[in-house]
């Protein structure tokens, strides 16, 4: 009898769990943490959104948005739906904020529409570390519908504003323009500051210092009082007058004061503070800061492991988790035991903070900047360093400093002067021990003046310096973010995009890291401020942000919030559309220039990138050229704006090139030097700020009150 072989059944293979994240940068990191049972895919951001071609908001039906699959994203969505069908479960791991919640909501709906068999859960984490990701997987939650409603309300609100104001600008000002709810307020702030800058007239003033000798030691002190009041040194003659009076007179140390100060460490970074500090310390734009922070958050390969180095970078809170506090205190106990406080240091969360996420901090304190330097790019290293230093220092002891101020008195007849010299020294370094990139002047300090009351000193020499009063500084990335935060405009996720949109639309340009409104930006702002004052008002925009927060906190329904806004706004749009005159061509100017192609006059017109010359014979003749900004001092040709090859950096050169090689790296302004007749340019330096000077190197004219016509 022949035995038949029984076939062994293969064990049924368990289906993988599909994890969907937003960014492809996270995929590798999370895959390593979760292993082969999980299939990690990226949605690449929003897959379902409002169409760009129309408003797509049903204002008569509770402002219901009409969502479509984003153009070019149908393939990704279909792949995710197919993967979901094959999976045992779907985990939606989008970012833990309003936008992330909305992406998860749309994905859930899209997958459910194709299959209702697979369970779908929402997970979230604040940092991409093995512990945080695995903990999130074990603790899934429901989608936060209130957060989705807040995102929907913001999207609808921005769409209604943008898609009603923009066509109005096309009709009344120029085709292709656009306006946004929050960006227009930021533009207004920048334009108002520019007006202050332009109207400011620098005033000359001088300072006087003296070197005093005591034995072999020389102390440099500044004149702080003259005849009982602050010295008014308006010009060089005022300085010379004082020097003549006190030269060779006896000088005595009149007073020595010691002041002790306790210096507290700063709290760990919020998004706005990180953007401000990286702008000031590293020279990063807000956009660059967020791009590099995203890389650090998503994960960097450290040897054989891959780890997210910082927590989520969009936050308005300084809160720190208990786990992180324990981690940093253990590290400090090993490395700086004398600077470890008895209890963790607590910081107050701002009154406007949503407090959804922790502060920005390193995920592991033991990953010091120096220890992982070889694994990071230069930009990653610098940004990680300030995040690490700020967090670790925030949990260390206070520093203490002592300042010694010495007043030196000099009497001449009925006149009396007081010179002052100060020195500061750290008595206790405290948290400064870990600061390198973030070290301040207080840490470096300077020498104490070793003088006592009654000591007689001699004047070795005088030194005077000319200055000019500085007007208000133009906004930089750091200062506009600080202002937006203070006024309650925008949220951590929007600061960088607000600036980027203004730059991309060419309403604002960057000059010496300052934000300068263009002619086009000023015109748009004038129209909006005159006819939509309320809607480009900082307080009104901040109140709308508060209402969006109320939606997220389930205090109000989003359609009700939109309804309150929509009716008066639509009335204002209709009224302006019907009643204001067109601005089209308002800035066109006839010129004396003649078109070299057809002989007709050239007209000065405003384009997307500023003014240019166009033939009045358009459309038959389409000749255009750059506007001459000044007369060339070498050959009397025209100086126009040019761009270098490659990076496209702007400079100003003569149209007679290559016969004339004149160039200027500073933009000519519409003003001739009253002293020599050459053209003036605007320069910027830390000492004088933005100021106007003559292009002639042999002319010393500096724009001042005396130079004004």
pLDDT tens-digit map of 13-32: 578 999 999 989 899 899 99
- pLDDT the model gives residue 591: 83
% of the chain residues with pLDDT over 90: 62
User: Tokens for 365?
Assistant: 């304190």
Mean pLDDT over residues 230-235, rounded?
Answer: 93
User: Tokens for 698?
Assistant: 């042999």
Mean pLDDT over residues 421-425, rounded?
Answer: 91
Q: What is the pLDDT of residues 619-640, one digit of tens each?
A: 889 888 887 888 888 888 888 8
Mean pLDDT over residues 138-157, rounded?
Answer: 96
Q: What is the pLDDT of residues 68-125, one digit of tens each?
A: 999 999 999 999 999 999 999 999 999 988 999 999 999 999 999 998 889 999 999 9
Torsion sign (Cα): 210, 215, 218, 219: negative
Active site residues: 312
Contact 458, 220 (CB under 8 A): no
- pLDDT the model gives residue 136: 95
Residues 6+ apart with CB under 8 A from 567: none
Domains in the chain and their CATH numbers? 17-143 (3.40.50.140), 152-200+473-579 (1.10.460.10), 204-264+399-468 (2.70.20.10), 271-394 (1.10.290.10), 588-627 (no CATH), 629-709 (no CATH)
User: Tokens for 133?
Assistant: 């990701």
- pLDDT the model gives residue 3: 47
- Angle of the 286-298 helix axis to the 24-34 helix axis, nearest 10: 20
Q: What is the pLDDT of residues 344-380, one digit of tens each?
A: 999 987 766 665 679 999 999 999 999 999 999 999 9
Q: What is the pLDDT of residues 491-507, one digit of tens each?
A: 888 889 999 999 988 89
- pLDDT the model gives residue 300: 92
In the DSSP assignment, the letter for residue 360 is B
- pLDDT the model gives residue 704: 38
Picking from 411, 432, 385, the residue whose alpha carbon sits closest to that of residue 266 is 432
- pLDDT the model gives residue 688: 65
Mean pLDDT over residues 187-193, rounded?
Answer: 97
Residues 6+ apart with CB under 8 A from 265: 345, 393, 394, 395, 396, 398, 399, 430, 431
Instruction: Report residue 1's pLDDT band, with 50, 70 and 90 as the boundaries.
Output: very low
- CA-CA distance, 490 to 544, in Å (whole number)? 10
* H or E, element range at 516: strand 514-517
- CA-CA distance, 247 to 241, in Å (whole number)? 10
Q: What DSSP letter does each residue of 213-282 carry, written as one string?
A: EETTEEEEEEEEEETTB-----SHHHHHHHHHHHTT--EEEEEEEEEEEEEPPPPPB-HHHHHHHHHHHH
Edge-to-edge strands, sheet with 38-42: 38-42, 17-21, 89-92, 120-122
Mean pLDDT over residues 386-393, rounded?
Answer: 97
Instruction: Report residue 265's pLDDT band, with 50, 70 and 90 as the boundaries.
Output: very high
Contact 120, 17 (CB under 8 A): no
User: Tokens for 396?
Assistant: 């260390």
- pLDDT the model gives residue 65: 96
Summary mean pLDDT of the chain: 88
- pLDDT the model gives residue 703: 47
213 - beta bridge partners?
A: 218, 458
* H or E, element range at 571: helix 558-579
Picking from 203, 221, 223, 371, the residue whose alpha carbon sits closest to that of residue 300 is 371
- pLDDT the model gives residue 633: 81
639 - beta bridge partners?
A: 630, 654
User: How remote is the C-alpha of 540 from its chain's centroid?
Assistant: 22
* pTM, 2 dp: 0.81
Phi, psi of 245 (to 5 degrees): -70, -35
Instruction: Report residue 665's pLDDT band, with 50, 70 and 90 as the boundaries.
Output: confident
Q: How many CB atoms lie within 10 A of CB 564?
A: 13
Q: What is the pLDDT of residues 679-690, one digit of tens each?
A: 888 777 666 666
Place of tokens 């120029």: 174
Place of tokens 């293979």: 13
How far apart are the two ends of the chain, measured CA to CA in Å?
122
Rg (CA), the chain: 32
Residues 6+ apart with CB under 8 A from 445: 401, 423, 424, 425, 426
* H or E, element range at 669: strand 668-672
- CA-CA distance, 460 to 213, in Å (whole number)? 6
Picking from 375, 359, 465, 370, the residue whose alpha carbon sits closest to that of residue 127 is 359
- CA-CA distance, 175 to 194, in Å (whole number)? 25
CA distances to 263, 614, 658, 681 from 652, rounded to whole Å, are 48, 20, 14, 11
Tell me the pairing of strands 17-21 and 663-664.
Answer: unpaired
pLDDT exceeds cutoff 60 at 10: no
pLDDT exceeds cutoff 50 at 471: yes
């Amino acid at each position: 009898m022949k035995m038949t072989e029984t076939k062994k059944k293969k064990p049924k293979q368990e289906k993988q769990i599909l994890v969907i994240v937003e960014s492809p940068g996270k995929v590798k990191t999370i895959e390593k943490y979760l292993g082969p049972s999980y299939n990690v895919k990226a949605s690449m951001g929003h897959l379902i959104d409002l169409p760009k071609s129309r408003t797509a908001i049903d204002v008569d039906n509770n402002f219901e948005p009409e969502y479509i699959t984003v153009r070019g994203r149908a393939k990704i969505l279909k792949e995710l739906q197919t993967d979901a069908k094959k999976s045992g479960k779907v985990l939606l791991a989008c970012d833990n904020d309003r936008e992330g919640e909305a992406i998860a909501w749309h994905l859930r709906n899209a997958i459910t529409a194709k299959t209702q068999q697979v369970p779908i859960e929402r997970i979230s984490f604040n940092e991409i570390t093995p512990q945080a990701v695995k903990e999130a997987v074990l603790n899934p939650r429901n989608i936060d519908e209130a957060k989705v409603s807040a995102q929907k309300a913001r999207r609808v609100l921005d769409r209604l504003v943008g898609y009603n104001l923009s066509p109005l600008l096309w009709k009344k000002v120029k085709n292709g323009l656009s306006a946004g709810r929050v960006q227009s307020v930021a533009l207004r702030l920048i334009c108002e500051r520019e007006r202050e800058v332009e109207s400011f007239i620098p005033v000359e003033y001088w300072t006087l210092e003296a070197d005093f000798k005591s034995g072999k030691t020389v102390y440099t002190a500044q004149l702080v009082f003259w005849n009982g009041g602050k010295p008014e040194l308006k010009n060089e003659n005022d300085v010379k007058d004082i020097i003549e009076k006190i030269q060779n007179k006896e000088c005595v140390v009149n007073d020595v004061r010691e002041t002790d100060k306790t210096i507290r460490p700063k709290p760990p970074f919020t998004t706005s503070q990180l953007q401000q500090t990286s702008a000031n310390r590293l020279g990063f734009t807000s956009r660059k800061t967020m791009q590099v922070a995203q890389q650090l958050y998503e994960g960097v390969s450290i040897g054989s492991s891959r780890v997210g180095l910082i927590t989520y970078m969009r936050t308005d809170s300084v809160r720190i988790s208990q786990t992180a506090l324990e981690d940093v205190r253990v590290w400090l106990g090993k490395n700086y035991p004398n600077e470890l406080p008895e209890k963790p240091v607590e910081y107050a969360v701002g009154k406007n903070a949503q407090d959804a996420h922790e502060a920005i901090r390193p995920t592991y304190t033991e990953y010091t900047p120096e220890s992982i330097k070889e694994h990071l790019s230069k930009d990653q290293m610098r940004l990680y360093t300030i995040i690490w230093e700020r967090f670790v220092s925030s949990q260390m002891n206070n520093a203490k400093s002592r300042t010694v101020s010495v007043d030196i008195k000099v009497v001449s007849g009925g006149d009396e002067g007081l010179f002052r010299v100060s020195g500061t020294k750290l008595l206790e370094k405290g948290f400064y021990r870990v600061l390198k990139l973030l070290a301040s002047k207080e840490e470096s300090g300077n020498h104490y003046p070793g003088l006592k009351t009654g000591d007689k000193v001699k004047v070795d020499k005088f030194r005077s310096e000319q200055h000019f009063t500085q007007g208000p500084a133009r906004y930089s990335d750091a200062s506009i973010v600080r202002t937006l935060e203070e006024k309650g405009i925008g949220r951590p996720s929007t600061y960088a995009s607000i600036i980027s949109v203004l730059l991309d639309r060419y309403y604002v340009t960057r000059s010496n890291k300052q934000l300068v409104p263009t002619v086009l930006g000023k015109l748009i702002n004038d129209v909006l401020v005159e006819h939509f004052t309320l809607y480009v008002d900082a307080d009104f925009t901040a109140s709308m942000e508060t209402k969006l927060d109320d939606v997220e906190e389930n205090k109000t329904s989003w359609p009700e919030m939109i309804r309150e806004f929509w009716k008066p706004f639509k009335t204002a749009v209709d009224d302006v559309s019907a009643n204001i005159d067109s601005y089209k061509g308002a800035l066109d100017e006839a010129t004396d220039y003649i078109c070299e192609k057809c002989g007709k006059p050239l007209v000065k017109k405003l384009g997307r990138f500023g003014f240019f010359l166009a033939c009045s014979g358009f459309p038959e003749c389409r000749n255009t050229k750059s506007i001459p900004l000044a007369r060339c001092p070498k050959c009397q040709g025209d100086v126009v704006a040019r761009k270098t090859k490659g990076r496209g950096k702007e400079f100003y050169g003569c149209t007679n090139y290559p016969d004339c090689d004149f160039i200027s790296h500073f933009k000519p302004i519409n003003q001739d030097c009253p002293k020599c007749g050459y053209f003036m340019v605007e320069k910027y330096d830390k000492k004088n700020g933005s100021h106007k000077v003559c292009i002639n190197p042999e002319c010393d004219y500096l724009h001042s009150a005396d130079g004004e016509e």
